[in-house]
Amino acid sequence: MVFSRRAALFSGGSMLLFGGIGYRLWQLQVRDHDDYQVRADNNRFNQRVIVPLRGEIYDRFGVPLATNRQNFRVLLVAEEVKDIAGTLAEVSKIVELTPQEQERVLLEVRRKRAFTPIEVADNLSWEDFARINFEGPKLRGIHTEVGYTRDYPFKDKAAFVVGYVGSPSDSDIDAIGDDEKTERLLRQPGFRIGKAGLERSYDEELRGKPGSTIVQVNAHGRVIEEYPNESDKSIQGGTLGLTIDAELQMAAMEVLARPIIEPAEGEEPEQVSASAVVMDVETGDIIVMASTPAYDPNEFNVGIRQSVWASLNNDPLKPLINKPLAGNYPPGSTFKLLTAIAAQEAGIKPSHRVHCSGRIWYGNRFFNCWKRGGHGTLDMKGSIKHSCDVYYWDLAQRVDIDKIAEVAHRFGLGEIYDLDIGTQSKGVVPSREWKKNYFASTPERQTWFPGETLSVAIGQGYVTATPLQLAVMTARIATGKQVQPRLIRAHADGVVPPPVIPDIEIKLEDLDAVRDGMNAVTNEWGTAARSRLEDPDWQMAGKTGTSQVASLQYDARGNRVKNEDMPRHLRDHALFVAFAPYENPKYAISVVVEHGSSGSGAAGPKARDIMKAVTAKNPSALPAFNPATDEPVKMASLAYELPASAKPVGGAP
C-alpha cells in the first residue's frame, strides 16, 4: 500500500513537472514566438553595404583625370593563424613589410574581432599579388582581395583642378551622413570622400548610390551565404567632364616650372612658384588651370605621411595653395587696361596725350615712372604699349576712384565665380565704400585720399586680383561680353549647353584703344615684343605687369638695387595677360610668376609658350567628349607622353 501511494505520488509529481515543461514550451513557442523569431533573424542576418564605385573625372576629350584603379590588397584573418608574427614574416618575404607596419597589424589584431579581416598591405603590384596568391595555401589566414582605389594619373599636373579624396572624418560624417545608409557607407573601411577641389564640391554626384546585400552569418559572424538584393544594387557615381585639356594642362605645368634665371654653374635652378589660366573667351571654358609647385593627390588618397605633409605645408612656394584661385596679387600694370576704360567712360578720349618726363610731383612728393628717362608724349594706345605710369597718374587725377572700381567689377575683379571649387579669393577692388568698411574700426583712416587713386591706377596700393580674375578680365576686354569661367562641361547624362553670355554694358569703341594698345605691346615692339606669337593667324595681344612687393632698395652707393638681385621674397611679382588671336579672339591667358621680377621677362615668355601650345592645338575647335555617348580615352592610347611618374601602378590582371 505504501509503495502504491508513493508511486502514485511520484507519478503525479512527474506529470505536474511535465505540465510545467509543456507550459514553458507554450511560453517560448506560442506566446513569445514573434519575439524569438525576430531575435533568430537578427542573429543570422546582417545587412551589408555595397560600396559604389566613385564617378570618374575626365578632361574635355575624355582623358581620365581621376579614375578608379584596381587595388590589390593582402588581408589577414587572425583566427585562422596560430603565429601571426611568423605569418607576417612569411608575407614580408614577398611584399616587404616594415617593422612599423607589422606592429600596426599586430595592434589591429588585438583590437578587432578574430574573424575581421585586417589589411596587411595594399597597392601591390600584379606580380607580388600573383605570388601571394600562389603561396596562398602555405600562408594560412592570409587572403587577397581586389578593391578599388582612387587614382590620379596626372599626379601633381592636375592636382588643383580635381582635388583629392580622403577618409571621412567624424565631422564629415556628421555633416553629410544625413541618412542611416549614407552614414554606414561613410563608415565602410577604406571608403573615401572628396576632400578638396572638384572631388569635394561634386562629392555627392561622384559618390554614387550604395547598394545593400543581405548576408547570412553563423554564430561566429562568418558569412555563410550572400543574398544579393537585385533592387538595391550600388550605382556608380556620375561622370564629370571638365573643360580642362589635360595635354595643354601638362604643357602649361611644364612651361611654368621652367627656371626664370639661368642657374649659375653647378647650382640647382631656383624653383618657380607660378600660375596660369587659359580660357576660351567665347564659352568661358577654363582650358588650363595650372599652379606650380603642386602636390600629388594620390598621396592624400592613401593617407599622406606626416613628413610629406609637413614639407608641403612649410614650403615657402606653397604647393598646397591653388594659386590661380586663391593667390592674391597686386595686378600691377595689367590694371592699367581697366583704368584706361574707366577714363574713356569718364569722357577722356583715346587721343588724350600726356607728356612723361620720368616723374610727376603730386601732393608733397615725386611719383617716379618705371622708365627713369621718361616716355615723352604718349596717347592712350602708346601708354599701354609702353606701360607708362605717368600717363595713368594723369588719368587718376581726372577719373574718380569709384568709377575705376565700378569698371573693375564689371570686368570681373573683386568677384567670386561660380566654379564649385572652394578657396577662391575675392581680391580687393578699392573704392570709397570699400575703404570705409575696411577700416570700420578706425574711423580716422576711412577717408579716401586722391593720392591713393594714383597707386590704384597702376595696379598697386590696395588693389589685388587672382590669376583667374585677370584671365576673366582679359577675356571680357577681348570680347566685350560678360564671360563667366566654368570648369564643368559635361555630366553623366550629357553635355551642359554652353552658357549664353550677355554683353558688357560698354561702348565697344571704348575697348578698341585698349585692344590696340595690347596688340602694340606684343606686336609693335612694346614692352613684351619678345613674347610675340609669329603665327599670322594667332597674333597675340597682351599686357605686362610687374607689381611691387617691397619698396625700392638702394645699395651703399645710393644706386637702386636691381630687382633680380634682391632676396627672392622681396622681388616683384611678374604678370602677363593676353588674348589671341587679336582680330577674332578665341583664348585668353593670364600668367603670374611670384617674385618673377619682371612681367616682360618672366611672365610674358611663359604666357607665349603656353599660348603657342594652345593655339597649335586649338582645343575649342575639336570635337569634345560626351560622357553619355562617348567612350573615354584609354590611358594607353594617349597621343602624348604622360609624366614618367604618372604611369599607372601595377598592371591589369
Partner 1 sequence: MNTLVLPDRRGGLRKNLAAVNWWLVIFLSLLAATGVATLYSVADGSWTPWALNHIMRYALGLMILMIAAFIPLRFWLSMSYPAYFFSLGLLALVPVIGEINMGAQRWIVIGGFQLQPSEIMKVALVMALARYYHGLDFKRVSNPIYLVIPLAMISLPVALVFLQPDLGTAILLGLSGIVVILLAGLSWRIVVVGAILGLMGVVTVIQLDLIKPYQIERITSFTNPEADPLGAGYHLAQSKIAIGSGGVTGKGYMNGTQSQLDFLPEMHTDFIFTIFGEEFGFFGTIALLGLYLVVFLIGTNIAMKAKSHYGRLVTMGICITFISYVLINTGMVMGLAPVVGVPLPLVSYGGTVMLTMMAAFGLVMSTWINRDQDTLRTSMSYYGRIN
Residues that bind partner 1 (CB under 8 A): 2-4, 6-7, 10-11, 14-15, 17-18, 20-22, 24-26, 28-30, 32-33, 35-37, 39-40, 43-44, 216-220, 224
Residue 458 — left, alpha, or beta (φ > 0 → left; ψ -120 to 50 → alpha)?
A: alpha
Question: For partner 1, which is the closer residue by CB, 28 or 261?
Answer: 28
CB 390 within 8 A of CB 375: yes
Q: How far is the CB of 648 from partner 1 (least distance, A)?
A: 43
Grid coordinates in use for 289? 588651370
> Reduced to 3 states, what is the DSSP secondary structure of residue 120?
strand
Question: For partner 1, which is the closer residue by CB, 25 or 496?
Answer: 25
Q: How far is the CB of 79 from partner 1 (least distance, A)?
A: 14
CB 122 within 8 A of CB 72: yes
Q: How far is the CB of 33 from partner 1 (least distance, A)?
A: 4
Question: For partner 1, which is the closer residue by CB, 14 or 423?
Answer: 14
SS (H, E, C) 551-575: CCCECCCCCECCHHHCCHHHCCEEE
Q: How far is the CB of 14 from partner 1 (least distance, A)?
A: 5
The DSSP string of 407-429 is: HHHHTTTT-----S-S-----B-
Q: How far is the CB of 2 from partner 1 (least distance, A)?
A: 4
Dist CA 45 CA 35 (whole Å): 15
CB 601 within 8 A of CB 594: no
Contacts 24+ apart (CB under 8 A), 426-430: 427/328, 427/463, 427/464, 427/465, 427/466, 427/469, 428/328, 428/462, 428/463, 428/464, 429/405, 429/463, 430/401, 430/405, 430/456, 430/461, 430/462, 430/463
Burial of 557 (0-12, 13-18, 19+ CB in 10 A): exposed
Question: For partner 1, which is the closer residue by CB, 3 or 640?
Answer: 3
Residue 178: what residue type? D
Dist CA 186 CA 179 (whole Å): 11
Grid coordinates in use for 183? 552614414
Burial of 497 (0-12, 13-18, 19+ CB in 10 A): exposed
Torsion angle defined by CA atoms of residues 322, 325, 328 and 330, in that order, rounded to the nearest 10 degrees: 130
Q: How far is the CB of 180 from partner 1 (least distance, A)?
A: 24
Question: For partner 1, which is the closer residue by CB, 40 or 175?
Answer: 40
Question: For partner 1, which is the closer residue by CB, 174 or 225?
Answer: 225
Distance of CA 239 to the CA centre of its chain: 17
Q: How far is the CB of 12 from partner 1 (least distance, A)?
A: 10
Question: For partner 1, which is the closer residue by CB, 16 or 500?
Answer: 16
Question: For partner 1, which is the closer residue by CB, 1 or 264?
Answer: 1
CB 628 within 8 A of CB 493: yes
Question: For partner 1, which is the closer residue by CB, 5 or 372?
Answer: 5
Place of cell 583629392: 164
Q: How far is the CB of 228 from partner 1 (least distance, A)?
A: 19
Question: For partner 1, which is the closer residue by CB, 18 or 554?
Answer: 18
Q: How far is the CB of 15 from partner 1 (least distance, A)?
A: 7
Grid coordinates in use for 6? 508513493
Beta strands in 320-429 (DSSP E): 354-356, 359-362, 365-368, 376-378
Question: For partner 1, which is the closer residue by CB, 30 or 636?
Answer: 30
Please give the backbone phi and psi of residue 214, each rounded to the nearest 5 degrees, phi first. Answer: -95, 130
Q: How far is the CB of 18 from partner 1 (least distance, A)?
A: 6
Torsion angle defined by CA atoms of residues 631, 636, 641 and 647, in that order, rounded to the nearest 10 degrees: 120
Beta 64-77 vs 142-151: how paired, if at all?
A: antiparallel
Question: For partner 1, which is the closer residue by CB, 21 or 636?
Answer: 21
Q: How far is the CB of 78 from partner 1 (least distance, A)?
A: 17
Dist CA 164 CA 175 (whole Å): 18
Q: How far is the CB of 215 from partner 1 (least distance, A)?
A: 12
Question: For partner 1, which is the closer residue by CB, 17 or 550?
Answer: 17
Q: How far is the CB of 111 from partner 1 (least distance, A)?
A: 17
Give, in degrees to the nearest 5, the angle at Cα 365 between 359 and 366: 10
Q: How far is the CB of 4 from partner 1 (least distance, A)?
A: 6
> Reduced to 3 states, what is the DSSP secondary structure of residue 333?
helix
CA distances from 223 to 47, 218, 425 (A): 11, 7, 52
Residue 103: what residue type? E
**Of 429, 410, 401, nearest in space to 506 by CA:** 410
Question: For partner 1, which is the closer residue by CB, 16 or 264?
Answer: 16
Burial of 15 (0-12, 13-18, 19+ CB in 10 A): exposed
